[in-house]
């Protein structure tokens, strides 16, 4: 929610996400949280107008990124990496997000 209250821009660029990016990210995060409960990992965001949530763990080396773009002409996607194995899921579902978050 803090992202929506950010200034529009700062010296480094755009801060506030679009409503579309925010709604997409919230939908995925809320549904994933409902499935994972207190096992839900912490997330961080970047400063683009879209929202990029990144979860990572050092042992095993694992990273999951949920990217919700700012405009409807791009689709959300999920990037996951587990040690040397990585891929991009172009069709994001709560189930595949939860699957990868369980490993992160």
pLDDT at 36 over 80: no
Q: Is the pTM of this model over 0.75?
A: no
**Residue for token digits 């405009």?**
71
- Of the pLDDT bands very low, low, confident and very high (cuts 50, 70, 90), residue 88 is very high
pLDDT value of residue 22 = 85
Q: Where are the chain's structural domains? A: 2-101
Task: Report the percentage of the chain scoring pLDDT > 70.
Answer: 75
18-23 long-range contacts (CB < 8 A, ≥24 apart) are 18/49, 18/50, 18/70, 18/71, 20/68, 20/69, 20/70, 20/71, 20/72, 21/49, 21/50, 21/51, 21/68, 21/69, 21/70, 22/51, 22/68
Task: For residue 86, give the 3-state DSSP assignment.
Answer: strand
Considering the chain, what is the average pLDDT of its residues? 80
DSSP 61: T
Strand-by-strand arrangement of the 85-89 sheet: 51-57, 62-68, 77-82, 85-89
- Of the pLDDT bands very low, low, confident and very high (cuts 50, 70, 90), residue 76 is very high
């Amino acid at each position: 929610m803090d992202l929506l209250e950010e200034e529009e821009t700062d010296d480094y660029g755009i801060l506030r996400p679009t409503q579309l990016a925010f709604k997409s990210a919230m939908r995925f995060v809320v549904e994933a949280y409902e499935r994972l409960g207190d096992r839900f990992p912490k997330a961080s965001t970047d400063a683009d107008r879209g929202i990029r949530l990144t979860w990572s763990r050092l042992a095993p080396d694992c990273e999951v990124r949920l990217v919700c773009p700012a405009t409807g002409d791009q689709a959300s996607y999920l990037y996951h990496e587990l040690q040397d194995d990585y891929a991009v899921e172009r069709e994001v579902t709560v189930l595949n997000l939860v699957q990868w978050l369980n490993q992160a």
